[in-house]
Amino acid sequence: MNNNGSNSRFLPIAKLFPNFITLLGLCSGLTSLKFTFNEQWEFAVIFIISAAVIDGMDGRIARILKSTSDFGAQLDSFADFLNFGAAPAFLLYFWKLKEIKVIGWILVMIYVICISIRLARFNVSLHSEQLHWERFFFSGIPAPVCALLSLLPIIITFQSHESEYLLSIEQFFNTRSVACYFLAISFFSVSHIPTFSAKYIYIPKSLSYVFVSLFGVFIVFCISKPWVTLPILGIVYTLTIPISTGFYIYYTYKTR
């Protein structure tokens, strides 16, 4: 019996596991749309967040199992389009932007187009040569982060009644301010502003236990006070953009 021929005709099911996870994320995005149409805003946001968590898992699992493929990359890109392009855009439209009618729908289309361009540009960059230090940065804000940042106005309303500070912020998010904020996120997604890639962030081994402990505390806050923790996380991420830009400029001039 020819073992080589046998191996070529059969595929370990474990190799398909990352694609199953991607499909799970796709279903999460579709479920978010369902809750959006039913005006169940909290559940719609939860499923988009779930899709973002799943998106962070499938690629890493594929690399661990050594089962990366062009098919998986294309499937992941399609899932990202739905989960972080269409789903948050529809959620914001039915929650607030439909009040400004045609302009609101134009903003939805601009956001979805920008996310599509970003995903296409990212896929192309995977096959282009990069300097060693360039892999530490994304060009623009990644699609999952754009989705979560775009949802901050609606997330703040979920628990604003428990905090006077959040209540004052909620009053700022009228229809016009939400529209301008959403448009800004759209353009940030296709910008060339360098942002940190968490995939290549390293910490000293001596601080690994401290990092795990802090991450555990973060998980506790996410479970107990998610609608307060996520806006704070969004603010912290935004504050890292000038830092990442500074590092990028430094390395650019250093390698010239």
CA distance linking residue 183 with residue 161, whole number of Å: 27
Q: Pull the structure tokens for residue 255.
A: 């390698």
CA distance linking residue 9 with residue 83, whole number of Å: 34
Task: Judge whether 198 and 143 are in contact, CB under 8 Å.
Answer: no
Q: Note if the pTM is more than 0.85.
A: yes
Residue 71 CA: distances (Å) to CA of 68, 112, 163: 8, 23, 46
Confidence of residue 241 (pLDDT cuts 50, 70, 90): very high
CATH superfamily of 9-254: CDP-alcohol phosphotransferase transmembrane (TM) domain (1.20.120.1760)
More confident residue, 128 or 41: 41
Residue (of 109, 29, 35, 113) closest to 75 by Cα position:
29
Sign of the CA dihedral 198, 122, 144, 171? positive
| Structural domain spans, the chain | 9-254
- For the chain, how far is it from start to end, CA to CA, in angstroms? 58
**What is the tens place of the pLDDT at every residue in 129-179?**
766 777 888 889 999 999 999 999 999 888 765 555 555 565 667 888 999
**What is the tens place of the pLDDT at every residue in 44-98?**
999 999 999 999 887 778 777 777 778 888 889 999 999 999 999 999 999 999 9
